Amino acid sequence: MVRFILFSAFFLILYYVIKGFLKSLKSRKVLKTGSKQAGKQPPIIDVLVQDPVCGVYCPKKDALTLNWRGKTYYFCSDKCRNEFRDQKK
């Protein structure tokens, strides 16, 4: 009877050791694939556009616009937009 208890305890311990080992291998595999994805660049949210007057780059979403002869121009400030408008008149 003592042998049965010892063998049962041994196999129970062996079971949990193997289960923990397999779980750690599985988590390492997930970490490896996660680290590959962590190295990817984030998607570009906005594009930079250049002001045709002063040459400054600014985000397209924040730029002031002016449609002239069917083309859209982007400006960093009202001053640049007004200067461009005055030059084209």
pLDDT in tens, 35-63: 555 567 777 678 999 999 999 999 999 99
Assess whether 11 and 32 both reside in one domain. yes
Q: Which of 17-21, 37-41, 58-62, 85-89 shows the lowest per-residue confidence on average (mean pLDDT)?
A: 37-41
Nearest one of 86, 87, 89, 66 to 76, comparing CA atoms: 66
Domain count along the chain = 2
- Please give the structure tokens belonging to residue 6: 């010892």
Say how far apart CA 27 and CA 35 lie, in whole Å. Answer: 12
**Domain that residue 69 falls in:** 48-88
Assess whether 1 and 24 both reside in one domain. yes
Task: Inform me whether the pLDDT recorded for 22 exceeds 70.
Answer: yes
Assess whether 53 and 70 both reside in one domain. yes
| pLDDT at position 28 | 67
pTM: 0.50
3-state helix, strand, coil in the chain (%, to 5): 55, 20, 30
Assess whether 31 and 58 both reside in one domain. no
Assess whether 33 and 55 both reside in one domain. no
Say how far apart CA 13 and CA 37 lie, in whole Å. Answer: 37
Question: CB–CB of 48/39 below 8 Å?
Answer: no
Assess whether 17 and 33 both reside in one domain. yes
